[in-house]
Amino acid sequence: MTVLLRRRADRGASAVEFALVLPFLLLLVFGLIQYGLYFWALQGGSDLARGAARLSAVGNANDCTTLTNSVTGTPAAAPGYASTVPTVTRTYTDAETPNAVLGQWEPGDKVTVTVTFTAIDMKFPVPFIQGGTVSQRVDARVERIDGQPTNC
């Protein structure tokens, strides 16, 4: 008879243990999802920066509007991995005198492209890397110039 009473006394113990562990388990699961979204956005930002550097290096995007539209699609629509429209900046540097600001760019010079945007945030109470801001920078050698491109 005492064995039967002991089983009844332990009846809700697993439910109580599960209720104690559940918040930490959910924090872990949603934290993994949040960081997965951030690293996905980081990879996407790297791809956008490489594409912008490639277009700038071969002379296919001389003005800033063409460059931004070519890389991000349309200016009003953000990529699926971003909650803001990416900002694309471009700077040309003379290969012979890197600190000189010249107006004439030629093959062999360097172009630096930086893409910045905010990754999707699930608003879950997990600390986010750099507040969710993704910034990727790519340097490329200028191969061809059609006209004179502008810095953005």
Mean pLDDT of 9-32: 87
What crossing angle do the helices spanning 13-57 and 64-72 adopt, rounded to 10°?
A: 140
The one-letter code for the residue type at 31 is G
Of the pLDDT bands very low, low, confident and very high (cuts 50, 70, 90), residue 56 is confident
d(CA 27, CA 127) in angstroms, rounded, equals: 11
pLDDT at 75: 44
Q: Is the pTM of this model over 0.95?
A: no
